[in-house]
Amino acid sequence: MSHKYVYYFGGSSADGDSKMKTLLGGKGANLAEMARIGLPVPAGFTLTTEICTYFYEHGRTYPPELRAQVNESVAKMEKEMGAKLGDPKNPLLVSCRSGARDSMPGMMDTVLNIGLTEATLKGLIAKTGNERFAWDTYRRFVQMYGDVVLGLKPQSKTEIDPFEKIMEELKHEKGVNEDNQLTVSHLQELVARFKKAVKDRTGQDFPEDAHEQMWGAIGAVFGSWMNDRAIVYRRQYGIPHEWGTAANICSMVFGNMGDDCCTGVAFTRDPANGENVFYGEYLTNAQGEDVVAGIRTPKKIAELQLEMPEVYAQLDKVRGTLETHYKDVQDIEFTVQNHKLWMLQTRNGKRTGFAAVRIAVDMVDEGLIDWKTAISKNRIPPDDLNQLLQPLFDAKAKNQAVKEGNMLAKGINAGPGAATGRIKFFAEDAEKYAQQYGKHTDHRIILVRRETSPEDIRGMQAADGILTAFGGASSHAALVSRQMGKVCIVGCSKLQIDYDKMTLTVGDKVLNDGDWISIDGFTGEVIAGKLATQPSEVVQVLIEKSLKPGKSSVFKQFEKVMKWADKVRKLKIRTNADQPNQAAQAVAFGAEGIGLCRTEHMFFEHLAEMREMILANSLEARKAALEKLLPFQRNDFVGLFETMNGLPVTIRTLDPPLHEFLPNDAKGQEEMAREMGVSVEEIERRVKALHEFNPMLGFRGCRLGIVFPEITEMQSRAIIEAACIVKKKGIEVNPEIMIPLVGFKKELDLQAALVNSTAEKVFAEQGIRLDYLVGTMIELPRAAMAAAEIAQTAQFFSFGTNDLTQTGLGMSRDDYGSFITQYTELDVVKKDPFQVIDFEGIGKLMEIGVEGGRKTKKDLKIGICGEHGGEPDSVKFCHKIGLDYVSCSPFRVPVAKLAAAQAVLEEKAAKEKAKAAKDAAKAAK
């Protein structure tokens, strides 16, 4: 038998099932599954992702055996649907849709109504008795096929779509305003003009053979895997380009054959807040694309109960069947043709962070899933937790806005959260603006559109919030925003958007490009101007302790997820904090210690004394200045130790180059001279002497403490004295002193000896002893190389992945802007290495470091305190290579916890899978 490339589904049977997503793509696998469990699916078949791989490896051709397999499936489909592709008497129409392993909504191409020709058109008229419907369908087909398959697209950014242009011209000629006012003869003329345009541009006649049309569409769908927006999308979501898409040929059913027809999309639960309600929209007498395109604002699903009660009941039953079967929220597409319900698609519904948490928790309560499933990355991507911690608009500020007449309108709350930004009307503008200004608070963006389309995806990425005048909760804007975790309001029909004038008008209020606007994704409110925010519910309960949480509050759900994560994770989670209030926040979020306290922040608060130290030109003068800094440092540490109440506190000795503490500009230097009573020349001289060509690679880190041991001495004294003070109060204290930028064992030897001798002095003075550790950061490639040696002295390691990435890649975070965009677009780097650990490069250095360290000390405590410590994939990597803890900013603690838990579950699953495969292989022998 030849290799199977085509999988049939229809009636109540199917060749494939939902487990075969890799081969059939999500859409194909789920159509097969729905057919298997007896749901009404129009017959069809799936061309596998292997064909896509073949297609790109063989100059866009197909495997030779494909044609016969397709023909066989077409025959089965024709039999099931009782009609024939290309039959002038009884024509079968089909769609051709992409379907990748992971859903990539709207990124690839679709062709509907394939099989309509001059000949079959007559059959369709005869069959439906609806000439206008048939001609309108033909018009739509020629337009879609001409665009997608034959490539009749605008040839520049400014050109209007050629088909739209022809239609506008004809409507103008005929004095017609709306599409539905076009008569049969108008439509006939339109089709003729469309075909002529195709001929003019391509030199080819429009294909009049149904099978030829089908193969053309298949080629276009596979071809769309490599279009620009699909590539961008995959890059953002980490989908490998190698996966390929499947293509699905599906019998057409029509939601636009009359008022007993409709088409809709729905979620089995609310994807914005997670509530267990049937949530969806439909349009009567319409094709499915109309709902998603967002051009007409559709009706709520509840209305279908009134309009077509039987169909609604059937659909609601399907909703239950699907959730019980899939055990997850489903995002479905359906069409009702002459009162008959057809299911066109089901897939796991994308949801906001709020919804993800609520749905996961609810489903455990409902007994649908267990708690380990609930906290898996498919249910709650760790980053989603972040949404629950984001600020909301301040209630008072909102009231004030109402008073001042700034409350503009209310739309559909499609993506929760509060976003304030400058209006940008075009995705391209938004993208450029973001490139120019970066993520600065003063330059946040709200993308304001009539509707969005897949072309807008980069602009949406650049924006903090999306606001559309049209479209419902299932529109493109809503779907994509939810997935990106962006605040989103759609269908805000009061907004008048003029793209030419670049204005947004509501009543007599006119906002321009660049004006401030605020959108509340919880309530759907659109407010002119910049609005103040207040902390989220979780923050109010946990951090501010200003709110008592209700039983089913977001907080309670969040708390449950955190408890589950804590049950299973092995990594400890610490926080990067240098002030008691930050530390307290982190502890409230469950931090188990401080992984990085940067002492330099404390110095910036006592700049005068610090500068005195830097200007000192003798050891005595430097010591005198340090003497003044000592009580401040000690005081700061006392506060931290008290807050952390016995949890380990890792304090890093002075790290940044000294010139960071001096003013660089003439004005600042004059001021400093005046304040310190020295000459400007003296300060200029010192600034010049400290100037460095590459400060990142210069006189900083432990190099400071080695050249000026008195600095480390003062800092050690401050730490140990503070610890003694706190211990004397009866509070447990666990200081861990961390030496930065160590590359050579001897550096750590020297600094550790200094810390230890200072500690002994303090113990003698204070008449009390306590335990403390001296360890080092591993943030230079050399440190990773020499880890075994360094571990002879170090009592712990902490990976400083920021600097390790900078040095390991030879890439300065301050300077990589000039090429990183191209690097991402050209796939040189898969992800920004300063956000996600570069596993193959920096990760390998880390593995070498862990191996070396543990070779010397089997149980050496190893953590990470770079900013990667709060990024889920990096956290999982840290688990994999055997770190003891990760440390991240306070607000990332929940994210890190969940990622750490998932790391354990995923590792276990992978082991079980490997074991099963091994057992199966054994059994096969």
Contact 18, 44 (CB under 8 A): no
3-state class percentages of the chain: helix first, strand second, coil last, to nearest 5 = 50, 15, 30
DSSP type of residue 349: P
Looking at the Cβ atoms of 37 and 785, the one nearer to its own copies is 785
Least distance to its own copies, CB of residue 839, Å: 10
Helix (H, G, I), strand (E, B) or coil at 886: strand
SS3 per-residue string spanning 25-64? HHHHHHHHHHHHCCCCCCCEEEECHHHHHHHHHCCCCCCC
Looking at the Cβ atoms of 306 and 689, the one nearer to its own copies is 689
Looking at the Cβ atoms of 42 and 808, the one nearer to its own copies is 808
H or E stretch at 372:
helix 371-374
Place of tokens 């939902």: 18
Helix (H, G, I), strand (E, B) or coil at 919: helix
Least distance to its own copies, CB of residue 616, Å: 15
Least distance to its own copies, CB of residue 695, Å: 7
Least Cα distance to 784 among 835, 838, 844, 858 occurs for 844
- Specify burial of residue 503 (Cβ count, 10 A radius: 0-12, 13-18, 19+): middle
Whole-angstrom distance, CA of residue 138 vs CA of residue 182: 13
Least distance to its own copies, CB of residue 464, Å: 26
Least distance to its own copies, CB of residue 623, Å: 18
Least distance to its own copies, CB of residue 433, Å: 17
In the complex, the residues that contact its own copies under the rule CB under 8 A are 692-699, 701, 703, 706-707, 741, 743-744, 746-747, 750, 779-782, 785-786, 789, 803, 806-812, 814-816, 818-819, 822-823, 826-829, 838, 840-842, 844-845
Place of tokens 């660089």: 664
Looking at the Cβ atoms of 321 and 812, the one nearer to its own copies is 812
Whole-angstrom distance, CA of residue 327 vs CA of residue 369: 7
Least distance to its own copies, CB of residue 660, Å: 11
Whole-angstrom distance, CA of residue 208 vs CA of residue 142: 11
Looking at the Cβ atoms of 590 and 698, the one nearer to its own copies is 698
Contact 183, 189 (CB under 8 A): no
Place of tokens 């003062």: 714
Residue 399 has a CB neighbour count (10 Å cut-off) of 11
Tokens describing residue 63: 């495997």
Least Cα distance to 874 among 779, 790, 769, 799 occurs for 799
Looking at the Cβ atoms of 297 and 805, the one nearer to its own copies is 805
Looking at the Cβ atoms of 24 and 613, the one nearer to its own copies is 613
Helix (H, G, I), strand (E, B) or coil at 316: helix
Looking at the Cβ atoms of 355 and 842, the one nearer to its own copies is 842
Distance of CA 575 to the CA centre of its chain: 23
Helix (H, G, I), strand (E, B) or coil at 113: strand
Least distance to its own copies, CB of residue 800, Å: 10
Looking at the Cβ atoms of 70 and 778, the one nearer to its own copies is 778
Distance of CA 199 to the CA centre of its chain: 43
Least distance to its own copies, CB of residue 233, Å: 20
Residue 231 has a CB neighbour count (10 Å cut-off) of 16
Looking at the Cβ atoms of 628 and 844, the one nearer to its own copies is 844
Range 581-601 burial, b when 16+ CB lie within 10 A, else e: ebbbbbbbbbbbbbbbbbbbe
Least distance to its own copies, CB of residue 715, Å: 18
Angle at 179 between CA 173 and CA 181, to 5 degrees: 75
Least Cα distance to 544 among 401, 646, 392 occurs for 392
Helix (H, G, I), strand (E, B) or coil at 262: strand
Query: Which of the residues are catalytic?
Result: 476, 865
* C-alpha radius of gyration, the chain, whole number: 32
Per DSSP bridges, beta strands 509-512 and 503-506 are antiparallel
